[in-house]
Amino acid sequence: MGRKCGNKGFVGLRGWAPTAIRFLAACLTLLAVGTGLTQRISDVQPVRFALFQRPDARAASWIRANTPPDARFLVNSFAAYGGSLTAGSDGGWWLPLSAGRATTQPPLNYGNEREPVQGYIAWINALPNAIKADGLSAANIRLLKDRGVGYIYVGHARGTIGAEGAALLDPTVLLQDVRLKLLYRQDRVLIFGIDFDAAGIAAK
């Protein structure tokens, strides 16, 4: 009789063991996840890595109220993926969504989608590449005019997010350029209008 009871006890223990193992494994997994979260939480640094920040939101409201719906903005960007694409590097990249205005920098998936016209990717990349090489030279101001770009936006992050080296648009240089009219300056956001008459380019 005792032996029979012992067998039942053994069977019961054997049925309980897998449940205990699964419970222990779940506890260890949760512990590992919790430890990982505490170690990685410091990696979340919105002030340092956020493209679109509160000052950009205020500027977007100003843009909606003070620029025409067809306004187009030159924005900060940098070469990405070995120079095959360009990516936005401050809140200017978000102006189509935040302010309803076009910019010189489309979403990054423009490199993965079918080009709306042949050579579109090269056309997009050519502008920031030209400005990176020669700044706002007379030729590049004319290029902006030809592309319908009448404004320049420097976001709160000043073109530093993701970019290596100097930002595409240097606020100090822009503020000294007599061809540009400072229209908005709050926090670290700057918005300029391009004066094509001052640049010697007749309006079309």
DSSP-based three-state secondary structure for 117 = coil
pLDDT of 8 higher than 70: no
pLDDT of 25 higher than 90: no
What is the pLDDT at residue 39?
Answer: 56
- Buried b / exposed e across 27-49, counting CB within 10 Å, b at 16+? eeeeeeeeeeeeeeeeeeeeeee
What is the pLDDT at residue 2?
Answer: 47
pLDDT digits (tens, 9 = 90+) for 142-200: 999 999 999 999 999 999 998 888 999 999 999 999 999 999 999 999 999 999 998 88
Torsion of CA 81, 86, 91, 95, to 10 degrees: -130
Could you give the CA distance from residue 51 to residue 28 in angstroms, rounded to a whole number? 37
pLDDT digits (tens, 9 = 90+) for 110-137: 988 888 899 999 999 999 999 999 999 9
pTM over 0.75: yes
Domain boundaries, the chain: 2-43, 46-194
In this structure, the strands spanning 151-154 and 72-75 are parallel
What is the pLDDT at residue 36?
Answer: 60
User: Which residue do the tokens 């030159």 mark?
Assistant: 74
The distance between the two most distant Cα atoms of the chain, rounded to a whole number of Å, is 109
What is the chain's mean pLDDT, rounded?
A: 87
With cut-offs at 50, 70 and 90, classify the pLDDT of residue 27: confident
Q: What is the mean pLDDT of residues 36-63?
A: 75
Q: Provide long-range contacts, Cβ within 8 A and 24+ apart, for 175-184.
A: 177/136, 179/136, 179/141, 180/136, 180/152, 183/66, 183/151, 184/59, 184/62, 184/63, 184/66
With cut-offs at 50, 70 and 90, classify the pLDDT of residue 14: low
pLDDT of 1 higher than 50: no
